[in-house]
Chains A and B, each alone.
Chain A
């Protein structure tokens, strides 16, 4: 009796082992496309099939630290990393900027990679103030755009990127926002969300953006 029960348990452990190892596999391979998608009927190779259409980042128009217009033309065919911040932010932003600067410096000669940092404080963060901030951070607007624009457009864009940002008088500096970095591919699709304050998470971002750059 005892022996039979033991054998039964052996099978259970085997099952547990199989389930666990099968979960692991999903981590490798293609990066997922994040965000909403629609399924349409489509003719693929002469046959009617269901085709998944992922949402692309919608059109936008902002100004950067040098007064340049930044829109869909700017990011055409490029991979970019994007976040939301404000220059007088006393909490997580400096860390986010340090981590983004790390990627920026690591990919110094990569023309197909851009950085877009949206200021959520359109009142204080004028073009001139963003210019001075960029200068002190030591970055060029040809690769890293610090963006400002209409209040509603900026906040609408945060929502579009699925990033939390809002005015909050109780938060240090007057605004509350997420510390997320988003990775967007050449087709304007979101391929990863990372914690911009955590160096390990940013290491993952670097590995993922390299895989997107390799695909070109």
Chain B
């Protein structure tokens, strides 16, 4: 019996360590920083919050996404044929790596992109919009 518990414990810890992928951090960050407005599966809400899942706006602006996450956005944009003119606050506390993982989750898991950007590519994108 004891042996069984030991094996179960080992199995569980292996399982958890294998479970760590960048997108899991991305998913967790999405839940923490984006989900309350953009909703659980990224569907958005009415004309208040645009969708981030299957979003033509994001797919047309993939290289801008990292800066959008860091600095937010203010003003009119059109997403999937609907105009939005709200404000999104920035997330200046997120590190370059965290933003890389979040971008990965949004582009790959929510928008069906085959791959997103490497941490080095995202850092170069973020260098275009430095925090003053």
> Which residues from chain A sit less than 8 Å from chain B, CB to CB?
90-92, 94-95, 97-98, 101, 133, 135-138
Contacts A136-B48, A138-B46 given; 13 further ones with Cβ under 8 A?
A90-B89, A91-B36, A94-B36, A94-B37, A94-B45, A95-B36, A97-B45, A98-B39, A98-B45, A135-B47, A136-B86, A137-B45, A137-B47
Tell me whether A137 and B37 are in contact (CB under 8 A). no
Number of interface residues of B (CB under 8 A): 10
In order of increasing CB-CB distance, the 6 nearest A-B pairs are: A136-B47, A137-B46, A136-B48, A94-B37, A138-B46, A98-B45
> Which residues from chain B sit less than 8 Å from chain A, CB to CB?
36-37, 39, 45-49, 86, 89
| Bound CA span A94–B45, Å | 8
Task: Look across to chain B and name the residue whose beta carbon is closest to the beta carbon of A94.
Answer: B37
Interface secondary structure of A, over-half rule: helix
Residue in A90, A133, A135 whose beta carbon sits within 8 Å of that of B37 in the complex: A90
Residues in A whose Cβ lies below 8 Å from that of B37: 90, 94
Residue in A90, A91, A94, A137 whose beta carbon sits within 8 Å of that of B39 in the complex: A94
| Bound CA span A135–B82, Å | 13
Residues in B whose Cβ lies below 8 Å from that of A101: 45-46
| Pairs across A and B, CB under 8 Å, 17 listed | A90-B36, A94-B36, A94-B39, A94-B45, A94-B48, A95-B36, A95-B39, A98-B39, A98-B45, A101-B45, A101-B46, A135-B47, A136-B48, A136-B86, A137-B45, A137-B46, A138-B46
**Closest chain B CB from A104 CB (angstroms):** 11
| Bound CA span A97–B48, Å | 11
Task: Look across to chain B and name the residue whose beta carbon is closest to the beta carbon of A89.
Answer: B36
| Bound CA span A138–B46, Å | 7
Tell me whether B36 and A137 are in contact (CB under 8 A). no
Residues in A whose Cβ lies below 8 Å from that of B49: 94
Residues in B whose Cβ lies below 8 Å from that of A97: 45, 48
Residues in B whose Cβ lies below 8 Å from that of A95: 36, 39
